Amino acid sequence: MKQRLFTILILLAFVGYDTVNAQWMPAPGEAQSKPVYIVGGTMHIGNGQIIENGAIGFEKGKITMVTDKDIDKIPKDNAQVINAEGKHIYPGFISPNSLMGLVEISAVRPTRDFDEVGDYNPHLRSIIAYNTDSWVTPTIRSNGVLLAQIRPQGGRISGGSAIVQLDAWNYEDALVKEDGIILNFPSLVNRKGWWGEPGGLEANKQNQEQLAELKSFFLEAQAYCKQDNPSETDLRFEAMRSVFNKEKKVYISANHAQNIIEVVDFIKTFKIDGVLVGGRDAYLVADVLAESKIPVILNKTHRLPYRADEDIDLPYKLPLLLKEAGVEFCIQAERSSGEQRNLPFTAGKAVPYGLSKEDALQSITLSAAKIMGIDAQFGSLEAGKSATLFISTGDALDPISNHVEVAFIDGREVNLENKQKELYRKFMDKYRLEQKQH
Amino acid sequence: MKKIVGLLFLFWQIAAIAQVTYPTNGAKEIRNKHYAFTNATIYKDYQTKLEKASLIIKDGKVVTVSPSAFIPADAIEVDCSGKTIYPAFVEIISNYGLPEAKPAGEGRRYATQLVSDKKGAYYWNEAIKPETLAYELFASDSEKAKKLRAIGYGAVVSHQTDGIVRGSGTLVNLNDKSENENILKDQVASFYSFRKGVTKQNYPSSLMGAIALLEQTYLDGEWYKNNGHKEERNISLEYWNQQQDLPAVFLTSNWQEILRADRLGDANNVQYIIKGGGDEYKRLEELKASNASLIVPVKYPKPYDVEDPFAAHYVALKDMKHWELAPYNLARLDEANIEFALTTDGLEKAGDIMSGLKTAIKKGLKKETALKALTYAPAKMLRIDNWVGSLKDGSSANFLITSGDIFEEASILENWVQGDQYLIKQENTKELKGVYDLKLLDLRQNYKLEVKGKPASPEMNIVVNDTTKIKVKSSIQGKRITLHFTPQDAQQKIRLNGMMEGDVWQGKGQDLEGNWIDWQVDNRQELSKEEEKKEGENSKEETANLDETKDGTKEDKIGEVTYPFLPYGWTKEPKQKTVLFKNATVWTNTDDGILEETDVLIRDGRIVSVGKNLDGGSGETIDATGKHLTCGIIDEHSHIAISRGVNEGTQASSAEVSIGNVINSDDINIYRQLAGGVTTAQLLHGSANPIGGQSAIIKFRWGASPEEMKFENADKFIKFALGENVKHSNWGNNGTIRFPQTRLGVEQVFVDFFTQAKEYEEAKRNNPSKVRRNIELETILEIMNKERFITCHSYVQSEITMLMRVAEQFGFNINTFTHILEGYKIADKMKEHGVFASTFSDWWMYKFEVNDAIPHNAAILTDVGVVTAINSDDAEMGRRLNNEAAKGVKYGGMTEEEAWKMVTLNPAKILHLENRVGTIESGKDADVVLWSDNPLSNYSKAEQTYVDGRCYWDIEKDKEMRKLIQAERNRLIQKMLKAKEGGAETQKPSMPKHKHYHCDDIEDEGN
C-alpha cells in the first residue's frame, strides 16, 4: 500500500511538474471571446467607492456593467460567470515610475537599458527596450499590478517614459501610451562622498547654472518648435514638440521643499503638463502644490525619514498629509524591477497612519491613471473602461491577505504562473510535501 | 630606566658651562641670562599663587621662585610690578616641526595593496610605524613657533600625526634656536589612533580593523620580545617594545572612541591618555569610570546660519544642541572630577583656545582647573613635569609675563622660552586713572583731562563742563604716548606725542594749523567720587554681561543632555515597570499558541505570568482589549548601530575583527526599529570576504552605552560569506586581484584557514611559549571548538552544500545560513546538517546569483524542518519585519503563528537565546510589544515596546516628544539667529552624514 501511494505521489508530482514546466514565461492571454461576469464579493471601484455583493461584466475587453442591483438578471448564457463571494475585486494596480522591463539583473551591465550617455535626451524612447519576456514581470502581475509606467533615469532629461500593460508578446503589444519625458530637476543639495562612503549634504554650487541651462534648453526648444518645418532637424527639440502641445507630460523629480517650489514655477513658466516625482518634503509646501493643481508621484512609504529629527512615521503618513491638503498623488514602489510587486503593500502602509483603505487603493489605481493620463481607459471599475482587473481572496493591500486568483487585462485572462511559483512546486514535489499555496 | 632619567636630569642641572658641539660665526657668546623678575604676582604652578614675588632664572632654567628672593649680584632685575607671571603652557598634541607623512606606496585609491610597500625590515602594515621617532625628524620652525608662543605655549610634545601606531613624540621648546638646544627630551610618549592615515595599504579599511590590528600588534610585540626576535628581524616591533614604557597617548574624535580606546588599553594592560573630540559632556559617567586622563580640545562649533527656514530644516537638532552645550564641556568635566589637559588640536585657529577657555570659565570652569589643564596636567600626564608645566626649581625657564589675569582681560606681554625673551604684546600696565591738567603751552590753553578704564585701554576725555566731554584718543607703547582730539567747535585735530615720566607726560605736537607746539600733562588728582562710582558700575556691568545675551536679557535656560544625544533621546531613563496587560490577544509562541483575552504580567524585567484574571498588584494596568501582545522582534541580520565600517573585506579572512568593538549606541534607527517592535538584533560584519568578522548581539536599550547594549552572556558568533560579494564580482576593475575570485577559491580559503587553525592549536599545545598568538586563528579555532558559531551569507545551492561539507570535514556544524536564497533547493541537506536559516522574504534579481530566489523559500525550509527566520539586512526593512514575516503566509501558505515565529522565536533559537527571549511565558525577559492589530498585518502599529520591562517606545509619549523636538529646534534656531545678530560668525547649514549599511558596503564612512 505504502509503495503504491508512493508511486502515485511520484506520478502526480511528475505530472504536475511537467504540465507547468512551460509556465516560467506563460503565454499572454487570448482575446476575450465571451462576456465575463464577476458576481458577489467586495468591489473596490478605485475612486473611493465600494460595492458589496454587486456584479461586474465585461465584453470584448471593456467593462459593460458595474452594478449592485438585479444581480439575478445577469445573462448567463454563453458567458463566463465567476463567483467572487467573500472575495475582493480591484482595478489592476498601476505602478508608476519604474524600471520594469528595462533591466533584468541590476548588477549585470548587459541587462541594464535605462541610463544613456548625455544630459539632455528627450528623444530616447524607453518602450523600444521594454522586455516583455522578463522573468520578473509575471511575478509582479500575480500580486495585482497589471499596468506600469517604465522610464529611463540619469542626466537632466533622461528620456521618454511609456505605459505598458503587463501581459504582452512584444513591446508594441504592451504599449498603452508613450506618455511623457523624465526631467531631473537641478537639486539645491548634493550629497558628498560616494555610495560606499557617503558624506553629509552640501549646497549644490552649480544649482543656478544648471537651472539656467535647463531653462535655456526649454526656451530654445520652444523657439524651435514654433517652426513647422525647420531647415535643420534637431532630434532633441523635435522630441519636445509633444511636450509643448501637451500630448506628453513632463515628470519632474524633486524632493527638497525649495526645489518643489521651483518646479511649480517652472511648470507655470513653460505652461507644460507637469507632474512632480518624489516629493519627499512635499508636506512643507503641500498648499502650493494643491493651489497649482500639480499632481505628485510620491516616493514609496517604505523608506526612512530623511532627517533624524523628523517624525519617525513621516514616510508612512506623507500620503495622508497630501490628501488632507488636497494634492492629487499616486504612490510608487521602489523603482527597481524586482520590487514592483510590493506596490500594494507600500500603499497599504499608509493606512494605519490615517489614509483610508480606499484612498490607499485609489493612490495605485485611479489617481495613478489620472496623473499619467490614462484614466479614460484604466484606473477604476467603471463601465466603458478597459476590463483590467483582478480578484483577490483577501485584502490586496496587506501582504497577509493579498492573493490574486484571477486577473484580466483588457478582458484577456492573465496566466498567473511565474518562475517562482514553478520553482516552489518543483521543490515541494522533490520533498514530497503538500503545496499549501501556489 | 627611571634611574637613568634621574641621573641625566642631575647632570643637566649642574653643567656649569654652556657646552655646544657646533661652531659659532664670530666671537663665542656667553650669556648666562641671569634674571630676577621682581614684584610680580607669580603662579609657581597652577595652584600656588605668590604675590609680590620674585622669579630667578639662569641658563634657561628656573633657579627659584620665592616671595623674598635674594637677588644675585650678577642678575638683571626686571621690575614686574602689576604684572603676573605664569608657567608657559604645554601642548602635547602637535606635529610642530615635523614633516607631513607620505604613503610608502603609490597605490591609487581603491586599488589593491595587500602588504606594506615600505622598504626595509618593518611591520607588515604601513599604519603600524613605531619606528617613527619625532626627535629624529624634528626641525625647528620659527614661524609656527611664533604663533604658538603668542598663545602662551613654551614647549610642545610633537609627533608625526599619521597612522595607527605613530611612534614616539619628543618634547621641544618653542625657541628660535637649533634643534640641538630645543629638544628637551627625545622620547616622551608613544602615540596611537584609530585612523590609518596616508597609507594606501588596504587593511584596515574599518574602525574594527584598526582595533584588531592594534590588538594583534600587542601580541606580536610580546612574541618578538620573547622568541620572535630569533625568527625574524623586525625593526618596527623592536621600537614598539622600547616604547611600551612610555606614556601612551591615544587620539580619538568623540566619546564613543574614547571608551573604545580605553577598552583596548584595559585588554592590554595599558592605561591610555586619551584625546577626545570636545563632546565628553555627553557621557560623563562612563568616561569617569574609564579612569582615563583626557586631552580635550577647546572646540566649539559655530552657530548655523538659519535665517532661511528651508535651509535650516537641514540642520540636525543634535548639531544645534552640541553648539549650545559644547562650551559647557570643560566645566562639566571639571565638575565630574575628570583629569584633563587641553589641546589646540583640531581648532581652526589655535589662538582661539584662550577665547574658548574664557567662555568655558563663564560657563563654570574653575580658573585653577583651566590653568592646570594648560600647564601642569599635560606635563604630569606625559611625565615631563620636571621640565615644563610649572616654575619649580630646575625646570625650563618657560613662563609668561602678563598684564594680569589671563583668563580675564589681561594680555600676554612676554613669553620667555628657555630663558629667552619674546615680546608678544606691548601694552601699558601702569595705572593712569585720575584727573590731570593738559597744557598746550604755546597756545596757552589748559584742559582738564580725565583718565578712566583699564591701563591697557585707558579712556581719556577732556572735561569741558558737567555735561560735555571731548574724547581723546591715545596710544601708549612703553613710555611713549600719543594723543589726539578735536577741540570743541573745531573741525581739525590736535595731535600730540610725548614721553611719560611718572605722572608727568610731555612732548611735541601739531595744532589745528599744523604749527609745532609743546605740551604737558601734570597735576594728577584722584577721580571724583561720582566718577569712581560710575567706574565701579561699569566693571560690574561687564561681569554681569558674561551671563547675558546681547540684548541684555538673561540667557535662556540651556537644553539638557539626552541619552542618546539624538532627537527622541531621554533625560530620565525609563524604569523597569510592573505592568499588567489585560485582555490581550497573546501570541505566546509556545504550545499554548495564540490566546484570546489573556493577561500578561511583567515585573523586574521579566515576564511573571500569563493567564486569565491576573492581579497586577500596585503596578500599572494597561487595557489591551482588542490589542495583540507579542514578544519583541529579533532581527538575525542587521547592520545598524555600527560605527565606521561594516566590512573589513580587504583580506580573505578578517576573523580577528569584531563588531562588538564598534557598536554605535547613538543611532536613530534603534528608536525607529523599536517603533517597529524590534528588541534584539545581531549586528553582523558585512559580506565582502569569505571569513568576515565577529558579530555582536544587542538589545535595543535606547540611550544605554554601547557596552550596556550587548546581550549579556550571549553565545559568540562570526560572519562568513559566499558568492559574488566575496569574489568581488561586482566591484568592476578594482576587485580582480585579491584571492578568491571564484567559488573554487572560496572553498580553499575555508579549508586553508581551518587547517591552519588546527595546526596552530597543535603547535601551541606542543610549544606554548614559542608560538606567536594569532587572534585570527584563535577566533577560527573557537569555531572548530564549538565556542563560536557561523552565520554565513549565502545564495546559491552549490556553495551552501560546499560549506556544510567543509565544516563536517573539520568536525563541526554551520549554525546559520543567512539570506540563503537557494536554501529551498537543498533544504533536506540543510536539515540533515542541522543548520538554521535566516532569509529575506522576497528580494531577488538584483544580481546574478539571486536569479532563483523565491519568496516561498522560508515556507519550504520550514516545511522540510529547518528552523527559519526572516531578516532585514536593512535599516528600513528592519522596522517592518512583521510585514515581511506576513509574506510567509502569502507565498508559502504558512500559518500566522508559524510566520510570526520567523521574526521572534526562530531567530531566538538561531542566536541561542531562546531561554531568554522569543516567547511570552513566565521567566522570559520582558521584551514585549503591544500591537494595535494582528502584528503581521500591514495595518497594525506597535503601540508600546518594552526591553527588560522598560518601555522604550510608547506611541503616546512619542507624540509628546515630537512637540518637544519642535520646540527645542525652534528655541535653538532663535538662539542662533540672535547669535548671528550679535556678530557671531556662522556656518552654512549642513546635514550630518548617516550611513545605513548593507552587507556589501565596503568602506568606512570616516575621514
| A106 and chain B in contact, CB less than 8 A | yes
Out of B846, B993, B1001, the one facing A107 most closely (by C-beta) is: B846
Residues B561 and B576 sit within 8 Å (Cβ to Cβ): no
- Supply the pLDDT for residue B737: 85
Which residues from chain A sit within 8 angstroms of residue B993, using beta carbons?
192-193, 198-200
* Binding-face residues of A in 346-375 toward B, CB within 8 A: 348-349, 351-353
CB contact under 8 Å between A399 and B889, yes or no, is yes
Instruction: Report yes or no on A103 lying in a domain.
Output: yes
C-alpha span between B582 and B600 (Å, rounded) = 7
pLDDT digits (tens, 9 = 90+) for B825-872: 999 999 999 999 999 999 999 999 999 999 999 999 999 999 999 999
Q: Tell the residue number behind the cell numbers 576587485, with chain if given.
A: B735
pLDDT at B492 over 50: yes
Q: B840-859: buried (b, 16+ CB within 10 Å) or exposed (e) per residue?
A: bbbbbbbbbbbbbbbbbbbb
pLDDT at B10 over 50: no
Which residues from chain B sit within 8 angstroms of residue A435, using beta carbons?
893
Report the gap between the CA of A287 and the closest CA in chain B (Å): 16
Contacts of B684 (CB under 8 A, 6+ apart): B637, B638, B639, B646, B659, B692, B695, B719, B791, B818, B999
Interface test with A, best of B845, B954, B959 (most A CBs within 10 A): B845
In the numeric block, which cell numbers belong to residue B540? 560690574
Report the gap between the CA of B822 and the closest CA in chain A (Å): 10
**Cα dihedral angle (B363, B367, B368, B369), rounded to 10 degrees?**
40
Bridge partner residues of A275 (DSSP): A251
* Binding-face residues of B in 706-745 toward A, CB within 8 A: 724, 729-730
So what CATH class is B33-107+124-198+237-246+366-432? mainly beta
pLDDT at B162 over 50: yes
The mean pLDDT value of chain A amounts to 92
- The DSSP symbol for B947 reads E
Residue type, B504: V
Bridge partner residues of B680 (DSSP): B634, B699
Contacts of A9 (CB under 8 A, 6+ apart): A432
Chain B's closest residue to A423, CA to CA, is: B854
Q: Mind giving me the DSSP string for A42-85?
A: EEE-SSS-EEES-EEEEETTEEEEEESS-GGGS--TTSEEEE-T
Most confident segment among B104-113, B127-136, B428-437: B127-136
C-alpha span between B365 and B371 (Å, rounded) = 10
Does residue B11 or residue B863 have the better pLDDT?
Answer: B863
Which residues from chain B sit within 8 angstroms of residue A203, using beta carbons?
988
- Supply the pLDDT for residue B813: 98
Residues A398 and A144 sit within 8 Å (Cβ to Cβ): no
C-alpha span between B68 and B567 (Å, rounded) = 59
* Backbone phi and psi for residue B520, each to the nearest 5 degrees, phi listed first: -155, 145
| A397 and chain B in contact, CB less than 8 A | yes
Report the gap between the CA of B840 and the closest CA in chain A (Å): 13
Does residue A157 or residue B115 have the better pLDDT?
Answer: A157
In the numeric block, which cell numbers belong to residue A103? 533591466
- Supply the pLDDT for residue B230: 94
Interface test with B, best of A312, A340, A403 (most B CBs within 10 A): A312
CB contact under 8 Å between B1002 and A284, yes or no, is no
C-alpha span between A308 and B321 (Å, rounded) = 14
Report the gap between the CA of B655 and the closest CA in chain A (Å): 22
CA–CA–CA angle B811, B812, B818 (5° rounding) = 145
Environment class of A123 (CB within 10 Å of its CB; exposed 0-12, middle 13-18, buried 19+): middle
Q: State the CATH number of the domain containing residue A199.
A: 3.20.20.140
Q: Mind giving me the DSSP string for B599-649?
A: EEEEETTEEEEEESS---TTSEEEE-TT-EEEEPEEEEEE--SB-S-S--T
C-alpha span between B710 and B700 (Å, rounded) = 9
Instruction: Report yes or no on A52 lying in a domain.
Output: no
Bridge partner residues of B599 (DSSP): B611
Out of A108, A256, A437, the one facing B848 most closely (by C-beta) is: A108
Instruction: Report yes or no on A127 lying in a domain.
Output: yes
Local confidence band at B489 (pLDDT 50, 70, 90 cut-offs):
confident
- The DSSP symbol for B659 reads G
Residue type, B58: K
**Can you give the residue range of the structural domain that contains A117?**
93-378
Preceding omega of B564 cis (within 30 degrees of 0):
yes
Residues B219 and B63 sit within 8 Å (Cβ to Cβ): no
Contacts of A291 (CB under 8 A, 6+ apart): none
Task: Note if the pTM is more than 0.90.
Answer: yes
Instruction: Report yes or no on A371 lying in a domain.
Output: yes
CB contact under 8 Å between A258 and B310, yes or no, is yes
Instruction: Report yes or no on A12 lying in a domain.
Output: no
Chain A's closest residue to B939, CA to CA, is: A352
**Percent of chain B's residues with pLDDT above 70:** 93
Contacts of A124 (CB under 8 A, 6+ apart): A116, A152, A158, A159, A160
**Percent of chain B's residues with pLDDT above 90:** 81
Instruction: Report yes or no on A10 lying in a domain.
Output: no
pLDDT at B548 over 70: no
Report the gap between the CA of A92 and the closest CA in chain B (Å): 19
Instruction: Report yes or no on A361 lying in a domain.
Output: yes
Strand ordering across the sheet containing A62-67: A62-67, A55-59, A36-39, A80-83
CB contact under 8 Å between A436 and B894, yes or no, is yes
Span B577-632+918-948: which CATH code?
A: 2.30.40.10
pLDDT digits (tens, 9 = 90+) for B383-396: 999 999 999 999 99
Local confidence band at B151 (pLDDT 50, 70, 90 cut-offs):
very high
**Cα dihedral angle (B310, B312, B316, B317), rounded to 10 degrees?**
-120
- Supply the pLDDT for residue A23: 65
pLDDT digits (tens, 9 = 90+) for B737-752: 889 999 999 999 999 9
CB contact under 8 Å between A420 and B847, yes or no, is no
C-alpha span between B326 and B310 (Å, rounded) = 25
Q: How many helices, marked H, and strands, marked E, lie in chain B?
A: 28, 41
Local confidence band at B408 (pLDDT 50, 70, 90 cut-offs):
very high
* Binding-face residues of B in 175-214 toward A, CB within 8 A: none
pLDDT digits (tens, 9 = 90+) for B771-825: 999 999 999 999 999 999 999 999 999 999 999 999 999 999 999 999 999 999 9
In the numeric block, which cell numbers belong to residue B672? 525607529
- Supply the pLDDT for residue B988: 87
- From residue B160, give the alpha-carbon distance in Å to each of A425, B92, B189: 65, 12, 12
* Binding-face residues of B in 507-566 toward A, CB within 8 A: 566
CB contact under 8 Å between A196 and B877, yes or no, is no
Which residues from chain A sit within 8 angstroms of residue B886, using beta carbons?
398-400
So what CATH class is B633-748+785-917? alpha beta
| A25 and chain B in contact, CB less than 8 A | no
Which residues from chain B sit within 8 angstroms of residue A309, using beta carbons?
316-317, 567, 965, 969
- Supply the pLDDT for residue A193: 58
Give the number of domains in chain A: 1
Chain A's closest residue to B998, CA to CA, is: A196
pLDDT digits (tens, 9 = 90+) for B601-646: 999 999 999 999 999 899 999 999 999 999 999 999 999 999 999 9
Which residues from chain A sit within 8 angstroms of residue B318, using beta carbons?
308
Among A113, A219, A129, A107, residue whose Cα is nearest residue A174: A129
Q: Is the dihedral of CA B338, B341, B346, B349 positive or negative?
A: positive
C-alpha span between B516 and B446 (Å, rounded) = 17
Write the ipTM: 0.94
- Supply the pLDDT for residue A189: 79
CA–CA–CA angle B675, B677, B683 (5° rounding) = 100
- Supply the pLDDT for residue B880: 97
**Cα dihedral angle (B436, B440, B446, B449), rounded to 10 degrees?**
-30
- Supply the pLDDT for residue A20: 44
| A428 and chain B in contact, CB less than 8 A | yes
C-alpha span between B723 and B846 (Å, rounded) = 14
Residue type, B167: G
Interface test with A, best of B725, B796, B866, B938 (most A CBs within 10 A): B938
Instruction: Using DSSP bridges, classify how beta strands B620-623 and B579-587 pair: parallel, antiparallel or unpaired.
Output: parallel
CB contact under 8 Å between A400 and B567, yes or no, is no
pLDDT digits (tens, 9 = 90+) for B887-904: 999 999 999 999 999 999
Among B212, B260, B206, B213, residue whose Cα is nearest residue B686: B206
Specify the length of chain A in residues. Answer: 438
C-alpha span between B760 and B754 (Å, rounded) = 10
Domains of chain B by residue range: 33-107+124-198+237-246+366-432, 434-526, 577-632+918-948, 633-748+785-917
Which residues from chain A sit within 8 angstroms of residue B109, using beta carbons?
none
Does residue B446 or residue B550 have the better pLDDT?
Answer: B446
Report the gap between the CA of A412 and the closest CA in chain B (Å): 25
Return the H-helix or E-strand segment holding A357: helix A357-362
Stretches where chain A sits below pLDDT 50 are: 1-21, 195-197
Fold (CATH) for B434-526: Lipocalin (2.40.128)
Count of other CB atoms within 10 angstroms of residue B188: 26
C-alpha span between B515 and B496 (Å, rounded) = 12
Residues B896 and B931 sit within 8 Å (Cβ to Cβ): no
The mean pLDDT value of chain B amounts to 92
pLDDT at B541 over 80: no
**Cα dihedral angle (B52, B53, B56, B60), rounded to 10 degrees?**
-90
Return the H-helix or E-strand segment holding B14: helix B2-14
C-alpha span between B677 and B348 (Å, rounded) = 44
C-alpha span between A220 and B870 (Å, rounded) = 54
Report the gap between the CA of B305 and the closest CA in chain A (Å): 13
- Supply the pLDDT for residue B797: 97
pLDDT at B1001 over 80: no
Bridge partner residues of A355 (DSSP): none
* Backbone phi and psi for residue B543, each to the nearest 5 degrees, phi listed first: -65, -45
